[in-house]
Structure 1
Amino acid sequence: MAYPRPTLSQLRQQALQDVISGGIPGVTAVLRFSVIYVLSMVLAGLSWLHYGYIDWVAKQSVPWTATGAYLAAWGALKGVYRKGATAASGTATFTATGTDVIPAGTQFALQGGLLATASADSVTADGITAVNWTASSTGTAGNVTLGTIVTLSSPVPGIQTTGTVTDITVSGADIEDDTDFRTRVMEAYQAQGQDGKANDYVGWAEAVAGVTRAWVVGNGAGAGTVVVYIMLDEANAANGGFPNGTNGAATGDARYTTATGDQLTVANAIQPSQPVTALVIVCAPIAQPTDFVITDLGTGNTTANQKLITEALTDMFVRLSAPGGTINPNNWEEAIGAIGLDSFEVQSPTGPVTGANAGTMPTLGTISFAA
C-alpha cells in the first residue's frame, strides 16, 4: 500500500494543533496573524516540501517510475539508451543542361519552410540531375513526402531552380520520450539475456530511432531466415507509419538483396547483435485496409463524434494490429464504446479481420457514418 502523503492543509492543521496541545499555559487558540501562526504555516510548508522531495527520490529509485536522466541511468545499466533525434534524408531531382551538377553542400528549401543540404555532388544523366539531401534539422519536423517541391537556395548554372523529392532514404524521428524509453528499459530488465529469441529481435529493432513497433517471424522466408517487420508510426505518420525503403538484408550480406531506406537502417543496426548464422530480412508490413460502416448514431452523428470514433479506431489498430494478426469485433466495440455515445452499431465489418498472410497487416480504411 502506498504511503498516504499528507496534504499541505493537513500539515497546517497539524502544526496548529501541536501548538495548541503543546502545554503552553492559557493557549487554547492561535490568532491568524500572530507570530506563532505564521511560524506554524512556514514549518508546515517546509514539511510539505520535504515530503515532495522524498516522494520524488522514491520515484527515481526504481526504473518503472524514474524520469529524465535517472531513467537514462537505469537504462544504461542494461545497455539500453534513449533514441536520439535523427534527420530525414532522401533524393531530389532537377532538370539539368548538359553535364552540370549540384555541388555538395548546396542548400535547398523544401516546401513548408524546411531546409536541407546536398550531402554529395549530384549525378547528371539524360537531362536530369539527382542529388542526395539531408534535412538541416532533426526530428519529424524535417520529414516531407514524395513529390514535395524543392527549391535551390541560390542558383546553380545549368540547373533548373525547382525540383521534386523522388525518394525518402531515412525518415526523421524525434528524441524518444520517457514513456517509450521506459517500456524498453523495463523489457530489458525482464529479459533473460539476449541470444536471438524473437523478443530480442523486437528489442533490437525498436532500439532504432523512429521505430515504434516491430514483429518477428522465424523462418519467414525459408529455413534459417528471420523476418522482422517494422513500423515508424510517428516519424512516418504521413505515410501511415509504414517504413520508407525496400525490404532486404543488411549491408554486406550477400545471401539476400540489400535493403534500402528505413529497412536498411534497421537491418544494419541488428547485424552486430544477431546470431552469426541468421539471415535477417527487414520488411514493411503490407497494408490491408478495413472499411467501417457505423450506423444508429442518432443525434450523436456529429462532426465531433465522428472525429472521436476515427481517433478511437486509429488507436485500436496501432495497439492491436500486427502482420498476419487478427482484430475481433469486441476490440472495436470496446474502442468505440469508451467514447460514451448514446447509441451506435458497427454494421461492417461483421466478423474478425485477419491479415491475409504473415506479412499483411490490417489497417483502418474509410469510415462511413449514418444516423
Structure 2
Amino acid sequence: MPFNRPTLSEIVARNRSDIETRLPGADSALRHSVLDVIARMHAGAASSMYGYLDFLARQIMPDTAEGEHLSRWASIWGIRRKAGVAARATATATGVDGTTILAGTEALRVNGAVYRVRETATIAGGTASLALEAAETGPQSDLTVATTLTLSSAVLGVNATLTVTAIEAAGAIEEDDASLLARLLDRIRTAPQGGSLSDYRAWALQVPGVTRAWVYPDWMGAGTVGVAFVMDGRANIIPLQSDLDLVADHVAELRPVTAEVFVFAPTPDPVDIVLRLVPDTPTIRAAVEAELTDFFAREAEPGGAIFLSRLSETISLAEGEFAHRIDLPDEDYTAGAGRLPALGTVSYV
C-alpha cells in the first residue's frame, strides 16, 4: 500500500483532535490560544520530518535518487559523475627577450573570465608561447583563435595583451543528474559483455563532455569498430581533435585487444525546412524552432533517417500551433554514412 504524506493542514487537524480528545471541553481551534499554538508548532515539526522521510524514500531506489545519493548508487556499478573540464588554449605573448612569465600568471577576457598560465615560459625572439587554462570549468570559458586577453597584473618586460593562437580543449560542465541517471540505468539494464556494441557506447559516454555516441561494427572491415560522438553542451556539438584523442585513448584502455577502433567526428548534414504555419507569428515560430532543435538532438544519428511524419508531429507540439504544411523536405531524409542530420535553415511561406 503506498504511503501518502499528510499535508500540514491535515497534521494540524489531527493534533487538535488529539488535544480535544485528551482534554475534554478544551477548544484547540481558538486562534492564538496556547493549545492552538502547541498544535501548530507540533504540526510544523512533524511536517518537516515527514518531508525528510519522503526525501529518503526517493533516495533508496536508484531511479529516483538525486545529488550525492545518485552518485553513491552510480559508484556501486563503477560509474563516476563526469567532472567539469576547463577550457585550454595556447596564446602568444610579446616582450623583451629573456623575460620569464611564471606559471600561475593570470590573464583576463573582456567578459571577466580568468585564464592561468600552466607552464613557465621565457620570451625569445620577441615572443613566447603560453599554455593557458580557464580558472572555471564549463563551455562559457571557451576561447577562439585571435581572441585578445589582458594580463591581470603587469609583468615587467611583457606587453599586457596576449593573442590566442590555438585551441587545445573546450570546456565542459560537471555531469548533471539526468545524464548520470541515464548512464546508470543503461548500465543496470545492459550488463557489460566484454566488447559489445553497448559497451563501446558506454565507454565513449564516460568521457567528460560526451553526450551522445554511436557505434558501428565492422566499420572498416572485419575486426574493426567505428565510434562517433557529439558534445551537446557546446554551441558547436562536433568534437575537436583533442576530444577525439581523449575518447580514443579512453576506449583503447577498455577494448578487447583484438579490436581496432576508429573514433571519428560525424559530419553535419543540414536539413533545411520550408514551412507553412497557421497562425504565423514570431512567438509561434520561436516555439516551432525550439521543438525542431530538440527533435534533432533526440533523434538524429549519423547515417540515420529523418521521417516526415516525425517531423510533422514535432511541429504540432509547438505551443500555439494550429496547422502547418511542410514544403521542404518533401520526403523522408536519409543521411550518408558518417553524416549527422542537423537542423538547417527554417523558412516560412
TM-score, structure 1 normalization = 0.83
Instruction: Report the counterpart of residue 13 of structure 1 in structure 2.
Output: 13
Counterpart AA for 1:351: E
Aligned pairs (5 A) from 1:160-239: 162=161, 164-234=163-233, 236-237=234-235, 239=236
CA contact (8 A) 1:102 1:156 kept: no
Partner of 2:49: 50
SS of corresponding position for 2:274: strand
State the AA in 1 paired with 2:285.
Answer: Q
Equivalent residue letter for 1:7: T
Task: Determine if contact 1:111/1:150 at 8 Å carries over to the other structure.
Answer: yes
Q: Which stretch of the first structure deviates more once superposed, 184-193 or 107-116?
A: 107-116
Kindly tell me: are residues 290 and 166 of structure 1, through their superposed partners in 2, closer, same or farther at Cα, counting changes over 3 Å?
farther
Label 1:365 to 1:61 Cα distance change in 2 as closer, same or farther (>3 A): same
1:244 match: 240
Q: Distance in 2 between matches of 1:38 and 1:193?
A: 59
Kindly provide the amino acid, as one letter, of the partner of residue 343 in structure 2. L
Contact (CA 8 Å) 2:28, 2:35: kept in 1 or not? Answer: no
297 and 102 in structure 1: CA distance in 2 versus 1, 3 angstrom threshold: farther
SS of 1:344's equivalent in the other structure is strand
Partner of 1:281: 262
Counterpart-to-counterpart distance in 2, 1:283 and 1:156 = 45
Pairwise CA RMSD: 2.9
Alignment partner of 1:63: what SS? coil
Following the alignment from structure 1 to structure 2, what is the Cα–Cα distance between the partners of residues 122 and 278?
Answer: 41
The secondary structure found in structure 1 opposite 2:77 is coil
Give how far 1:90 is off. Answer: 2.4
Contact 2:28 2:36 in 1 (8 A): no
Cα distance change on mapping 1:100 and 1:151 into 2, 3 Å: farther
- What's 2:317 paired with? 338
Q: Report if the CA contact (8 A) 2:89-2:143 is conserved.
A: no
Instruction: For structure 2, list consecutive stretches of 5 or more residues without a partner in the other structure.
Output: none
Equivalent position amino acid for 1:4 in 2: N
Bigger shift: residues 289-298 or 144-153:
144-153
* Matching residue of 1:60: 59
Contact kept? 1:102, 1:131, Cα under 8 Å:
no
Q: Secondary structure at the match of 2:214?
A: strand
Compute the displacement of 1:102 (Å): 7.5
What is the one-letter code of the residue matched to 2:238?
F
Calculate the TM-score normalised by the size of structure 2: 0.87
Distance across 1 between alignment mates of 2:334 and 2:17? 66
How far apart are residue 124 of structure 1 and its match?
9.4
Task: Trace 1:7-46 onto structure 2 (pairs within 5 A).
Answer: 7-20=7-20, 22=21, 24-26=23-25, 30-46=29-45
CA contact (8 A) 1:168 1:244 kept: no
1:190 Cα offset (Å): 1.8
Secondary structure of 1:309's counterpart equals helix
Q: 1:113 to 1:33 in 2, by over 3 A?
A: closer
CA distance in 1, matches of 2:145, 2:6: 57
User: Residue type matched to 2:322 in 1?
Assistant: D
Q: Which consecutive unaligned segments of at least 5 residues does structure 1 have? A: 246-260
* 3-state SS, counterpart of residue 290 of structure 1: strand
Whole-angstrom CA distance in 1 between matches of 2:313 and 2:260: 40
Secondary structure in 2 aligned to 1:208? coil
Q: What SS class does the counterpart of residue 313 from structure 2 fall into?
A: helix
Q: 2: distance between equivalents of 1:204 and 1:282?
A: 12
| Corresponding position of 1:319 | 298
Distance in 1, matches of 2:2 and 2:317, equals 29
Q: Would you say the 8 A contact 2:95–2:126 is kept in 1? A: yes
Size of the aligned set, in residue pairs, is 346
Question: Equivalents in 2 of 1:282, 1:57: separation in Å?
Answer: 42
| One-letter amino acid of the structure 2 residue matched with residue 12 of structure 1 | V
Aligned AA (2:222): A
Residue by residue over 1:244-298, the C-alpha shift from the partner in whole angstroms, topping out at 9 and shown as x without a partner, is 11xxxxxxxxxxxxxxx11111111222211112222211110000111121333
Q: Does the CA-based 8 Å contact 1:218-1:226 persist in structure 2?
A: yes
Give, in whole Å, the separation in 2 of the partners of 1:87 and 1:262: 13
Q: Quickly say closer, same or farther: Cα 1:75–1:296, change in 2 above 3 A.
A: closer
In structure 2, do the counterparts of structure 1 residues 100 and 233 end up closer, same or farther at CA, with 3 Å as the change threshold? Answer: farther
> Identity percentage over the alignment?
34
Given that 1:148 and 1:164 are in contact with CA atoms closer than 8 Å, whether structure 2 keeps it comes out as yes
Supply the distance in 1 between the matched residues of 2:120 and 2:333 (Cα, whole angstroms): 48
Counterparts of 2:52 and 2:331, CA distance in 1: 53
- Conserved? CA contact 1:242–1:285, under 8 Å: yes
Range that drifts further, 187-196 or 117-126: 117-126
Task: Measure, in 1, the Cα distance between the counterparts of 2:262 and 2:299.
Answer: 23
* Cα distance change, pair 28–36 in 1 and its aligned pair in 2 (3 A): closer
Judging changes above 3 Å, is the alpha-carbon distance between structure 1 residues 274 and 156 closer, same or farther for their aligned structure 2 residues? Answer: farther
2:270 and 2:341 in contact (8 A); partners too? yes
Q: Would the alpha carbon gap of residues 24 and 232 (structure 1) be closer, same or farther in structure 2, given more than 3 Å must change? A: same
Q: Secondary structure at the match of 2:302?
A: coil
